[in-house]
């Protein structure tokens, strides 16, 4: 939704004050996958843009990655865990069914107050969580919210299925939102969509107590690609129209990192030059709910995205779910 703001709502609008990312230590290249699977670096690079991915090893997991990304976001914002009132974690790969990753991170950060919960919206999870956090702040329920996207998709993959296992990676990204955005600053709009009729295009069986078969991600890649192109284009139009903007007003696109061909298509639609699009899919592969905050963290930390820049985020994933967020940094 977008906001027809009263002065009360303006006072509570959310601004983004810190970002941080965390990646597992282990890097696996396409060539390493090709050594044990019927695939090639050439196929993976030309079809997806991916060159390598980070995968968890040892005691790394969703909570440790989320905690590390959250710590960096707090540091980047000049805040401590004592300043945080709520944590929302977008993930499809928690370490446990419950408690949520969010409350584990709450404890890991040493927080003694507030609340936390997880959001399940697959690769669109970060946009969904950002929207929930914005609503909590606007409604006055929390003055500052950590929003984290974390995934350990390596747990969901069939490592013998070349059509899926080469596509994903593990990682986490976090942002800190705080109430009190100035005029035209902070989260300007979020738009969320889902169509459950398309649930079988991208899914993972294996809930507790059912589906005794192997837990593995299944995707009809070509169909998902087709829906991504159509739905993301519509989502971008919706975000622009709601805010009375043109494509040329967008300074940065920070898209979900599933496939370089989809990202390039969206950039072309906005007539954005490639150096205004943040791309990490080459090094991170598809980290699902973590991909947008990881990419944002990289571009803020290396100085590309600056305060005052207008940033468009968009994502599509299993559900199908999709959506956008427009943020003035
Ligand atoms: O993040 C959630 C949202 N996800 C997405 O947005 C992903 C959307 N989909 C995609 O990015 C692409 O559809 C893929 C990258 C998954 C696949 O690319 P594609 O160009 O759509 O390829 P395809 O699935 O149509 O497969 C083409 C060929 C097939 O062989 P035949 O049937 O033409 O002989 C596959 O068997 O490529 C073959 N293939 C592979 N070959 C080498 C599939 N995977 C591989 C592989 N290595 N890893």
Q: Report the chain's mean pLDDT, rounded to a whole number.
A: 94
pLDDT value of residue 219: 97
* C-alpha to C-alpha distance for 312 and 133, rounded to whole angstroms: 17
Residue 131 Cβ inside 6 Å of ligand 1? The answer reads: no
* C-alpha to C-alpha distance for 181 and 204, rounded to whole angstroms: 39
Q: What is the pTM of this model?
A: 0.96
Label residues 71-80 b or e (16+ Cβ within 10 Å = b).
Answer: bbbbebbebe
pLDDT of 4 above 90:
no
Name the CA dihedral angle for 141, 325, 111, 106, rounded to a multiple of 10 degrees. 120
Q: What is the pLDDT of residues 257-308, one digit of tens each?
A: 999 999 999 999 888 999 999 999 999 999 999 999 999 999 999 999 999 9
Q: Characterize the bridge pairing of strands 321-328 and 310-317.
A: antiparallel
Helices (H), 144-259: 162-165, 221-242
Ligand 1 mean position, distance from CA 163 (Å): 6
Q: What is the pLDDT of residues 158-168, one digit of tens each?
A: 999 999 999 99
Mean pLDDT of 26-49: 98
Query: Which of 206, 201, 326 shows the shortest CA–CA distance to 270?
Result: 326
Ligand 1 atom with the smallest distance to the CA of 166 is: 48
Q: What does the angle CA 61 – CA 66 – CA 70 come to, to the nearest 5 degrees?
A: 155
Q: Which amino acid residue places its CA nearest to atom 20 of ligand 1?
A: 47
**How distant, in Å, are the alpha carbons of 129, 156, 169, 194, 266 from that of 228?**
20, 21, 19, 12, 10
Ligand 1 mean position, distance from CA 261 (Å): 12
The burial class, CB within 10 Å (0-12 / 13-18 / 19+), for 248 is exposed
The yes-or-no answer on residue 286 being catalytic is yes
pLDDT value of residue 209: 72
Choose the catalytic residue: 123, 165, 191, 259: 123
Residue 88 confidence class, pLDDT cut points 50, 70, 90: very high
pLDDT of 180 above 60:
yes
Name the CATH code of domain 1-329 (choices 1.10.8.100, 3.40.50.300, 3.40.47.10, 3.30.420.40).
3.40.47.10
């Amino acid at each position: 939704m977008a906001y027809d703001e009263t002065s009360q709502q303006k006072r509570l609008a959310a601004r983004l004050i810190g970002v941080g990312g965390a990646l597992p230590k282990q890097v696996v290249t396409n060539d390493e996958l090709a050594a044990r699977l019927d695939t090639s670096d050439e196929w993976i690079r030309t079809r997806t843009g991916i060159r390598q991915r980070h995968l968890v090893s040892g005691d790394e997991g969703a909570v440790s990655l989320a905690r590390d990304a959250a710590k960096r976001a707090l540091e980047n914002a000049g805040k401590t865990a004592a300043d945080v009132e709520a944590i929302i974690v977008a993930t499809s790969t928690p370490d446990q069914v419950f408690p949520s990753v969010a409350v584990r991170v709450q404890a890991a950060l040493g927080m003694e107050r507030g609340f936390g919960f997880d959001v399940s919206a697959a690769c669109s999870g970060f946009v969904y969580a950002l929207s929930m956090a914005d609503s909590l702040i606007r409604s006055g329920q929390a003055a500052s919210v950590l929003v984290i996207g974390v995934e350990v998709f390596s747990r969901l993959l069939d490592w013998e299925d070349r059509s899926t296992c080469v596509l994903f990676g593990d990682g986490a990204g976090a942002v800190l939102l705080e109430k009190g955005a100035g005029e035209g600053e902070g989260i300007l709009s979020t738009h969320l969509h889902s169509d459950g009729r398309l649930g079988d295009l991208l899914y993972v069986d294996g809930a507790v107590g059912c589906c005794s078969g192997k837990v593995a991600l299944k995707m009809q890649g070509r169909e998902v690609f087709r829906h991504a192109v159509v739905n993301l284009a519509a989502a971008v139009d919706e975000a622009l129209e709601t805010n009375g903007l043109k494509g040329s007003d967008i300074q940065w696109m920070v898209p979900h990192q599933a496939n370089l061909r989809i990202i390039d298509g969206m950039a072309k639609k906005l007539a954005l030059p490639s150096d205004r699009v943040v791309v990490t899919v080459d090094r991170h592969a598809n980290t699902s709910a973590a991909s947008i905050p990881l990419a944002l963290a990289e571009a803020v930390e290396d100085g590309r995205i600056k305060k005052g820049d207008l940033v468009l985020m968009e994502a599509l994933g299993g559900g199908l779910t999709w959506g956008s967020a427009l943020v003035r940094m």
